[in-house]
Amino acid sequence: MNKAEQQRLQRLVASAQEIASLGQRVQEQGGKLDTKEQKILEKLEKLAKKEAKVKQKMLKLDGKLEKLDTKAEKVNKKGAAIKKKSEKIAKKRARLSTSEGGK
């Protein structure tokens, strides 16, 4: 084996060592990424649950608001009916007033 071949062999050994260390790093990093991915999956699941809870609350609130709207409309109608009644009474008063004025 000549000197050049020896040098190439040394370089090869160095490369192999580097590959071994790179391989280890890739393996470790792969494990780290798996853990991260798992954590993200758990977070996604947690968020989906939160979303379902919020959605449920929204549905409950929606029902409550609809009830509130119905009640407000009912009270509105009552107010309008009373207003009509008050106007009728005012007219009655005016008629009485006129007939009395004529007496």
User: Which amino acid is residue 35, in one-letter code?
Assistant: T
Instruction: Quote the CA–CA distance of 56 and 64 in Å, as a whole number.
Output: 12
Asked if 31 is part of the footprint of other proteins (rule: CB under 8 A), the reply reads no
Residues 49-68 that bind other proteins (CB under 8 A): 50-55, 57-58, 60-62, 64-68
Spatial distance between the Cα atoms of 59 and 66, rounded to a whole number of angstroms: 11
Q: What is the C-alpha separation between 3 and 26, in angstroms, rounded?
A: 34
80 binds other proteins (CB under 8 A): yes
Give dist(CA 48, CA 103) in Å, integer. 81
Kindly list the residues in this chain that would bind other proteins in the complex (CB under 8 A): 1, 5-6, 8-9, 12, 15-16, 18-19, 22-23, 25-26, 29-30, 32-33, 36-37, 39-41, 43-48, 50-55, 57-58, 60-62, 64-69, 71-76, 78-83, 85-90, 92-93, 96-97, 100, 103
